[in-house]
Homo-oligomer: A and B are copies of this chain.
Amino acid sequence: MEKKYTIKKYTRGEGFSQVVDRVAVERPLTIFLNSLELITLMCSPQHLDELGIGYLVAEGLIKKNDNIRVSVEESKGLLQVEADEINSASLQGMGRRTITTGCGKGAYFYHLNDRRQRTVVEDPSVVRMDEILEGMKEFQKQSQVYRETGGVHGAALKLLGRDPIFREDVGRHNAVDKLLGHCALQKYKTEGAVLFLSGRISSEIVIKGGRIGIPILVSRSAPTSLAIDIALDLGLTLVGFARGRSANIYSHGERIE
């Protein structure tokens, strides 16, 4: 369930130190139903048989009291399910899809993508850690209210020389998409941009950030293992556990001083 990473920890007044951090593992699980490749879920690699069956039942593809056979190849992230009866109406138009751990919408997952589509973010901007911690504090103030009263997620984007933009949505990834859409519509440059998130940093958010060229992602929560691996690869700076006076840097710390 956990993977170890050597990261940089920052504490105000003490500066940076190197520490080993344990991070929740995120992995793909591809589900085959009666030999048909159905979907790839990004998940924690435990209870994979339950996950596959639960997904199929909850999506209405098979019935819970049906005669079901399951086999898992854990190392390959494959789950084969055989059922006597499939609900073909629910299957229609499903196609082969990859859905990420985050909040919906990640149709094409990085590692399944054509690597030629991958764009490395080569942004030489440097941001002070104090600015990041201050930005997080402001963002927390704004998003707290929404989370508590309405169950709405927030995200904020700080572009160089501009006031932070704040968006909220019942779907967490939607708030991020709204910010990215704002940049695209306004044709804003994303050099030195910092994206503030309230929740966990999953692989999907990293891919989204990379696609629009946002170099720095900050959350008060933890990243997943795959989020770190992809951020390392795509040249993105991941900052997690940004709380009060301290934060962890999980990748590309050269942008933080």
Contact = CB atoms under 8 A, between A and B. Distances in A.
A141 B106 CA distance: 31
Chain A interface extent, by class: 35 or more
A184 B58 CA distance: 10
A124 interface: no
Contacts of A178: 47, 50-51, 54
A180 to B, nearest CB: 4
Given A43-B170, A108-B90, A170-B101, A181 B54 contact: yes
Interface string A66-91: 00101000000000000000010110
B151 A24 contact: yes
Copies of this chain: 2
A53 B100 CA distance: 20
Interface of A is mostly: mixed
Interface in A178-207: 178-185, 187, 199-202, 207
Contact of A58 (B103, B170, B176): B176
A105 interface: yes
A212 B57 contact: yes
Contact of A180 (B41, B54, B68): B54
Interface stretch (A4-12, A127-135, A216-224, A231-239): A216-224
Contacts of A179: 50, 54
Contacts of A215: none
A47 to B, nearest CB: 5
Contacts of A137: none
Interface string A98-111: 01111111111000
Contacts of A65: 184, 187
A245 interface: no
A181 B81 CA distance: 12
A97 interface: yes
A55 B105 contact: yes
B24 A170 contact: yes
A77 to B, nearest CB: 14
A78 to B, nearest CB: 16
A197 to B, nearest CB: 11
A114 B90 CA distance: 9
A181 B57 contact: yes
A102 B183 CA distance: 24
A207 B113 CA distance: 31
